[in-house]
Amino acid sequence: MKGILRVHCRLPLLMAVPTTAGTGSETTLAAVITDAETRHKYAINDFPLIPRYAVLDPAVTLSLPPALTASTGMDALTHAVEAYVGRSTTKDTRADALEAVRLIFENLDTAYRDGLNEQARRNMLVASFKAGCAFTKSYVGYVHAVAHSLGGAYNVPHGYANAVILPLMLRRYGKAVEKPLADLARAAGVATQRDGDEFAARAFVDAIDAMKHRFAIGDTFPELRREDIPKLARIAAAEANPLYPVPVLMSADELEAIYEQLLDLRAA
Ligand SMILES: [Fe+2]
């Protein structure tokens, strides 16, 4: 069933109760599987996997530890950003992504520092849900493709991987995402209408960097081995093309340069 539109049966009534504020699985058509033998992590995407009901109850996320709150919250941020900067958006998905980014910038730090803050937890559940609504229709991009390859090969937690990769990939996209990132910057409150797009886009990426550093999330992966890079880059390239409407299309060779930047030079 790997891939898209391969689930050819009706499912029983599916109700989802998210216990983290991140994946958006309570509203998406995606299920993520890791092959226990090959360590390859991949997605099953099909309409029957969209839950009929999502129960967003902050009570079940109050006990989530800070590190998981941060990494899952940054997964939701990555969903909203990748959906928004991609080339297959709609009015609705853009609105959902903007609202998710606004809520995440307003609430994730509070949920991280004060896990029992019910309002911050509730707002993060709404953010995660809206980000899920955005990406289940508008898809994700290379941040997810690279994160999935690292998750499969080394068990790097998904949200953590996204958080490490997100600023790097947004800088790599460059001019192609300047306008959408400027919109997101204004939604996040890190730039105003008076700021130019170039300034606002840079402020947004810098704010993501600062956020992940506040959450003790690094810039590299000590697990990543240089000799694995060609294979990982091929897996990521094949996942993204043609499935994801990425803002800049990259070959496996071009993706290898991204992995090189993710190497921890002390460990490699
Ligand atoms: Fe994700």
Burial group, residue 241, by CB count within 10 angstroms (0-12, 13-18, 19+): middle
Tokens (6 digits) for 98 = 């903007």
Length of the chain, please? 268
**CA 216 from centre of chain:** 17
Closest CA to 32 of 3, 54, 11, 9: 3
Tell me the pLDDT tens digit for each residue of 197-251.
Answer: 999 999 999 999 999 999 999 999 999 999 999 999 999 999 999 989 999 999 9
pLDDT at 267: 64
Tell me, in angstroms, the distance from the centre of ligand 1 to residue 122's CA.
19
Amino acid at 238: A
Rounded mean pLDDT of the chain?
Answer: 95
Tell me, in angstroms, the distance from the centre of ligand 1 to residue 147's CA.
9
**What does the alpha-carbon distance between residue 101 and residue 205 come to, in Å, rounded to a whole number?**
13
**What does the alpha-carbon distance between residue 117 and residue 9 come to, in Å, rounded to a whole number?**
41
pLDDT at position 2 over 90: no
Tell me, in angstroms, the distance from the centre of ligand 1 to residue 145's CA.
10
Tell me, in angstroms, the distance from the centre of ligand 1 to residue 260's CA.
22
Helix axes 229-240, 252-262, angle to 10 degrees: 120
| In the block, residue with structure tokens 């998406």 | 28
Burial group, residue 134, by CB count within 10 angstroms (0-12, 13-18, 19+): buried
pLDDT at 152: 86
* DSSP-derived 3-state class of residue 53: strand
**Cβ of 35: how many Cβ atoms within 10 Å?**
11
| CA atoms lying within 13 Å on the CB side of residue 202 | 4
* DSSP-derived 3-state class of residue 30: strand
Tell me, in angstroms, the distance from the centre of ligand 1 to residue 194's CA.
32
Q: Vertex 206, ends 195 and 182: CA angle to 5°?
A: 35
| In the block, residue with structure tokens 């910038």 | 105
Tell me, in angstroms, the distance from the centre of ligand 1 to residue 117's CA.
24
Tell me, in angstroms, the distance from the centre of ligand 1 to residue 195's CA.
30
pLDDT at position 3 over 60: yes
pLDDT at position 268 over 60: no
Taking residues 244-266, what's their average pLDDT?
Answer: 96
Tell me the pLDDT tens digit for each residue of 20-75.
Answer: 999 999 999 988 787 889 877 678 989 999 999 999 999 999 999 999 999 999 99
> Distance between the two ends of the chain, CA-based, in angstroms?
35
pLDDT at 36: 85
Tell me, in angstroms, the distance from the centre of ligand 1 to residue 226's CA.
24
Cβ atoms 237, 250 nearer than 8 A: yes
> Which DSSP string corresponds to 146-190?
HHHHHHHHH---HHHHHHHHHHHHHHHHGGGGHHHHHHHHHHHTS
Tell me the pLDDT tens digit for each residue of 129-187.
Answer: 999 999 999 999 999 999 999 998 998 999 999 999 999 999 999 999 999 999 999 99
Tell me, in angstroms, the distance from the centre of ligand 1 to residue 27's CA.
13
* DSSP-derived 3-state class of residue 65: coil
Cβ atoms 107, 125 nearer than 8 A: no
Q: How far is CA 79 from CA 86, 118, 136, 266, in A?
A: 11, 23, 9, 31
Residues sharing a CB contact under 8 Å with residue 159, sequence separation 6 or more, in sequence order: 22, 70, 71, 72, 73, 74, 75, 78
Give residue 4's pLDDT band: very low, low, confident or very high (50, 70, 90): confident
Tell me, in angstroms, the distance from the centre of ligand 1 to residue 79's CA.
6
For the segment(s) 60-262, the CATH number from 2.60.40.1120, 3.40.50.1000, 3.40.640.10, 1.20.1090.10 is: 1.20.1090.10
